[in-house]
Structure 1
Amino acid sequence: MMTARASATLAFVAGEASGDLLAGHLLRALHDRAPGLSSVGIGGPRMQAAGFDAWWPSERLAVNGYADVLARLPELLLMRRRLRGRLLAEPPAVFVGVDAPDFNLQLERRLRQAGIPVAHLVSPSIWAWRRERIELIRQAVDHMLCIFPFEPALYADTGVKATYIGHPLAEVIPLEPDREAACRALALPADGRCLAVLPGSRRAEVKHLIAPFLAAAALLVQRGLMSRVVVPIAHAGLRPMVLQAAAAHPDLPLHLIDGQSHTVLAACHLALVASGTATLECALFKRPMVIGYRMSALSYRMMSGRGYLPDVGLPNILAGKRLVPELLQHDCTPLALADAASDLLEHPAQLQHLQDRFTDMHLSLRRDTAALASQAILDMIPA
């Protein structure tokens, strides 16, 4: 087994910045345990820093809503077809799909049919929406690596092995973030309140959210509740959209930062954040937040017609109750965002309650995630 592991090639597909972050931690743990491993597929800069050979960059999978998927469907299908052909011609020891279920599950089914063991990191949100995916998961996945404690029970009667590994971000993010150190790292003044604006890492997300988020930020500054606004830009391709929206607020004390979203969250006093993984990151940094989300009218109509929305606040899901405000689609207006943020900032007892709940959440998600996940994947490599 150790000989096979030492020379094995693993294939990964990680979509978007969050998948790249998760897979980057996993790859480092895999190389610690089996230094001779190689890894190929679709991934981002954090994975490449861990020695990953990216055939395509992970940002190519960044889509938002049905309308965006439909517009890019030919490109995505061609990419998946080419990737599938390459992996079938040179089979990896294990294929690891990291999130991106719309892209990965169909690919995983074909690879598993060809005898390639398949692990999937981050269970699709069948507990919140699209429970019909469970049959596809049964056909596509050998081992589901779950990052939330309630998820393995959902697979109890499916035949899919499911293991709770904790959330890797709960290990990376400190229990007590250092705001002063973060401000120094960003060259921000230590006095006054800092607002973080996180409109997402996908172009469609930023397109729909940056304008209302910055307009809400301007209202909070006018009300004297914030003294500076910081936007971590996920990648260079998003900067023109942010600059265009910022031009409408020339007096806004705005700081644009390339990446470093974790440092920005550590420095801030409150965040306006797109629904998704960033909401959990914000909770792990113990920062109050207002969650906003918009998508194209077509995508919203299609999803609303099926009775679900694709993204809801992870802190609220984990708590089983509404801890932080969620403002979706037509409700996601600058005034509503600013009013919700003002309400949080003006009630210290509520802020302390959030911090306490977020600390409990952090502790519940903290495991030796990378070690558990890497060992599970290594155990799948054929002897």
Structure 2
Amino acid sequence: MADAVPGASVPLRLALVAGEASGDVLAAQLLRGLQARWPGLRAAGIGGEALQAAGFEAWWPSEKLAVRGYVEVLRHYREIVGIRRRLRERLLAQRPTLFMGIDAPDFNLALEADLRAAGIPTVHFVAPAIWAWRPERVALIRRACDHVLCIFPFEPALLAEHGIAATYVGHPLAAVIPDEPNRAGARQRIGVDDALALVALLPGSRRAEIAHLLPRFLQAAARMRRDRPDIRFVLPAVPALEPAIRAQVAGSDVADAVTVLRGDAHTALAACDATLVASGTATLEAALFKRPMVIAYHMHPLSWWLTQRKRLQPWVGLPNILAQAFLVPELLQDAATPEALARETLAWLADDAAARARRAQVVARFVELHAALRRDTVGLTVQALEPLLARGGRP
């Protein structure tokens, strides 16, 4: 059968969980590649608009799991645990050929452990960052995952030290994002003059991030505009949170200078000169677009305190972690004031020799990073999955 692998006697049924917008985009790109290899493949589980556009059947939407921070998780704990319980029961009854958790380790690893114990092959895509924080997860990863697909080149060797099978597949976005983004074309699409300074505001994809970060970003934008009246802003909104985002923008002092997009963060990053971005996957996307950035984060004080106790590295932004250096500023928690965010963002836009040299240096490092992360992600993933798919979801 075109939709089966050697040893499989039934059509391939892939169960997926992508717990937030960034995971949804990664999973959609991967799913399209797997469908090209196995045209009859069917996929269902938890996903967002990007996965659904690829033919995915969403039993629950991704935003149900898009919660970050200990306090925020506690507020939604019963609902999230209930979703995981019902999903586990459904998957154990239907027995997919393979389960793949896309990032979201707090949700996915426990689910993967239960499914694997029942004989369903499990793969985790995007290795939990045990090298950055929470190294105690190693034992759970070893128990939960038949295989881990890694997006950073140093991760498989680290996991192998703990007896965990893993493959470096590169980062899917590195193959999608062009080496030289079309800045003029992106600006034309959003209606911003090519001569204007443009800052992309990316406050995150979770409701708590919009509550904690977006007001700071908009206040920072107002301060930037006082110094540079010609500056403009573009803000890609996660569709599920778009009404709340538009309401905040409308009530701000920069409503007339902000263009809100429905999703489409890549257009915003291609169009901008610099970005003010929440710590997370979007920082890596900004680096792949070769855009200078200021990384920010703010959460409930208790969540912040608990998180800091488990950090292993001085950096939180992926570009800085991968470079093992502060390539770009990080303004976190109490340091993420509107004044500081505005000051550091405007520094990237300065038109003097020192600023130009600084921009050129960071762009050169981002070019190197892009090359290191570009691999045949789908092809390498197919090779890693084939033995597990052949085994199938049989007890």
TM-score normalized with structure 2 length:
0.93
Q: Which residue of structure 2 lines up, in the alignment, with residue 120 of structure 1?
A: 124
Deviation of 1:217 after TM superposition, in Å, equals 1.2
For residues 30 and 162 of structure 2, what CA distance do their matches in structure 1 show?
A: 26
| Aligned counterpart in structure 2 of residue 257 of structure 1, from 243, 258, 261 | 261
The answer on whether the counterparts of 1:198 and 1:272 sit within 8 Å (CA) in structure 2 is: yes
From 345, 357, 373, give the equivalent of 1:365. 373
Asked if the contact 1:203–1:238 (Cα under 8 Å) also holds between the matched residues in 2, the reply is no
CA distance in 1, matches of 2:291, 2:229: 15
Alpha-carbon distance in structure 1 between the residues aligned to 2:156 and 2:185: 38
Aligned-residue offset at 1:340: 1.1
Are 2:225 and 1:200 equivalent residues in the alignment?
no
Q: Deviations over 1:219-278 (max 9, x none)?
A: 212212752111111124343244225413056511111111100100000100000000
C-alpha displacement of 1:90: 1.1
What is the distance in 1 between the residues matched to 2:65 and 2:94? 23
Displacement after TM superposition at 1:61 (Å): 0.6
Q: After superposition, what is the alpha-carbon deviation per residue over 1:162-207, rounded to whole angstroms, capped at 9, x for unaligned?
A: 1100000100100000100001111222221111100001000011
1:269-304: per-residue Cα shift (whole Å, max 9, x none)?
Answer: 010000000000000000100001000112112223
Mean Cα deviation higher: 329-338 or 49-58: 49-58
Counterpart of 1:326? 330
> 2:230 and 2:319 mapped to 1: Cα distance?
24
**AA partner of residue 169 (structure 1):** L
Residue of 351, 355, 363 corresponding to 2:363: 355
1-structure distance, mates of 2:328, 2:82: 40
Please give the alpha-carbon distance, in whole angstroms, between the structure 2 residues aligned to 1:109 and 1:240: 36
User: What SS is found at the alignment partner of 1:56?
Assistant: strand
Q: Does 1:102 align with 2:106?
A: yes
Alignment of 1:375 onto 2:370: no
Change (3 A) 1:334 1:246: farther
Q: Which of 261, 269, 291 matches 2:295?
A: 291
Compute the displacement of 1:154 (Å): 0.9
What is the distance in 1 between the residues matched to 2:188 and 2:10?
A: 43
Q: How many residues align?
A: 383
Contact 1:273 1:292 in 2 (8 A): yes
**Which structure 2 residue ranges, 5 or more long, are not aligned?**
none
Q: Which SS does the other structure have where 1:302 is aligned?
A: helix
1:282 aligns with 2:286: yes
CA distance in 2: counterparts of 1:374 and 1:206, whole angstroms: 36
> Are the structure 2 counterparts of residues 375 and 51 from structure 1 closer, same or farther at C-alpha, using a change threshold of 3 Å?
farther
8 Å contact from structure 2 (residues 134, 311) kept in 1? no
Give the aligned residue type for 1:380: L
Paired amino acid for 2:389: I
Letter in 2 for 1:174: P
Is the 1:225–1:342 contact (alpha carbons within 8 Å) kept by the matching residues of 2? no
- 1:12, 1:39 within 8 Å by CA — same for their partners in 2? yes
- Which residue, 340, 364, 371 being the options, matches 2:344? 340
Matches within 5 A, 1:310-325: 312-325=316-329
Task: Tell me the residue number matched to 1:189.
Answer: 193
CA distance in 2, matches of 1:82, 1:242: 34
Q: Distance in 2 between matches of 1:193 and 1:76?
A: 42
Name the SS of the counterpart of 1:380 in structure 2.
helix
Identical residues among aligned pairs (%) = 52
Structure 1 pair 146–307 and aligned structure 2 pair: CA distance change class (3 A): closer
Given candidates 227, 231, 237, the residue that maps to 1:227 is 231
Name the CA distance, whole Å, in 2 between partners of 1:250 and 1:222.
10
Unpaired runs of 5+ residues, structure 1, are: none
1:173 is matched with 177
8 Å contact from structure 2 (residues 315, 326) kept in 1: no
Instruction: Write the distance in 2 (CA, Å) between the matches of 1:368 and 1:226.
Output: 42
